Each structure stands twice: as structure tokens, then as C-alpha cells.
Amino acid sequence: MSEQDISELEKSLGYFFKRKELLIEALTHRSFAHENPDKAGAYNERLEFLGDSVLGFVIVEYLFLSKNQLTESVMAKTKSYLVKESILSEIASSLSLGKYLRLGKGEEATGGRTKKSLLADAVEAVLGSVYLDGGYRKVKELVLRLFKGKIDAILSSGEFYDFKTELQEETQLLFGSIPEYRLAKQEGEEHKKIFTVEVYVTGKKFGTGKGKSKKEAETLAAREALKKLME
């Protein structure tokens, strides 16, 4: 990697390394290290392992401290969604991380710079390198800068999480009953309708949700009901 490459990526990350060699290691694939032992003392798998743990902790801490008082199950499933390969590779693409990877000839020839698995691994390795170079506060700042939009989208809309299934499991366990969703209101023009749905458990209203579809409204009602159950 050239000094210009390092500088470009640091600007994209919003973090400037004291030990540039950590960033270089984070971007070095096993194939490059095996083909160029004189140019690469290490490759990124150890940093990837560390970064995976750091990323998971930062996300869980953020979810735990959110005002939504999420259940353990919701936090676990939300975290699992956020750290999956497809999300990590999206983050990598937003940073143009693929162009900075150090790959062996075989990986280069087979499109390694756009492989989701390699990109996801590189994101975790970079996070591991930031943690070692700058400590927890710096890596937390970076994780939240990269992931906060996606986290908040989940918490605000429930789009990526099945709150209805979670609510059904909880109410069966607590009350031996499943939730009942009732359409309370629909308003607006045909192509701009807003639906209001209420969810009842054992005849008592536990939550209300509004959305552009019945499904969205039911999801938000279920999320509110889960929060009430926690309280």
C-alpha cells in the first residue's frame, strides 16, 4: 500500500493511525501473505477475530443503553442481523475498502476485491486494528459512525426484526395466549393510506402502531407491547 492509499482510507474512516502497520495488516489477505512472505509478516485473520468481538460488544452496549429497553432476545437477534456478511460488505463498499485490499494473484483474478466474504472480514479486521491502535473509545466512535444509521432504522421501524414472533413467544409463555391484532383506523387517500393497529393480549390492549401498511403497523404495535411487558 502506498502512503496515499493509507491517507485516503484514514480520511474515509475518520481515524488516523499511529501504527500504520496495523492498518496494512488488517487489509492483507492470507493469499497475499503466502505469495509474498518478504512483504507481509502477518495477515488479517487474527485482527478479524478481535474486530468481530469488539464490533459485537459496541453494538450490544448501544442496544442495551437505548431507551427502548430491549429484551435479551431482541438484542441478540438485532446484533446478529447487524454483523452478518451482507451488512458488513455494505459498510466495506461505503468505504471503498475493496480497492485497498492486498490480495494474492489467485484472489485478484477471481474478483476478490468484490467478494462479500473478504470485504466483511476486512471490516472486522480494520475495527480490530483501530481498537489496538486507539483503544475502545476510538473504535466505538468508528463503529457508531458506520453502523448507527442501520441500528436506529431497526429500533425505529422494526423493519429488520420480527417483533410479532417475539411477542407471540412472550405472551404464550406468560399468559398461555397469543396476541390479537385489530385494525383501529385507516386514513388518507388510497395510495397514501395510514393504518392504525392495536394489539390485544387476553382482551387487554398492550400496544398501538401506525404505518403505511397493516404489516408495518402490526410490527410497531408488537414492539410497543413488548416494551410494556418489560416494564
Q: How far apart are CA 206 and CA 189, in angstroms?
A: 28
Is 169 catalytic? The answer is no
Task: Establish how many alpha carbons lie within 13 A of residue 97's alpha carbon, considering only the half-sphere containing its beta carbon.
Answer: 29
Q: What are the DSSP calls for 129-169, one per residue?
A: HHHHHH-HHHHHHHHHHHHHHHHHHHHHH-TTS-HHHHHHH
For residue 189, indicate whether it is catalytic. Answer: no
> How many residues in total does the chain contain?
231
Could you tell me which of 170, 179, 95, 102 has the C-alpha nearest to residue 130? 95
Task: Tell which residue, 216, 229, 228, 67, has the closest CA to residue 151.
Answer: 67
Question: Can you tell me which residue has the cell 474486530?
Answer: 51
Pick the catalytic residue from 48, 107, 124, 224.
Answer: 124
Q: Give the active site residue among 25, 52, 107, 166.
A: 52
* Beta carbons within 8 Å of 159's beta carbon, 6+ residues apart: 153, 216, 219
Q: Which residues are designated catalytic?
A: 52, 124
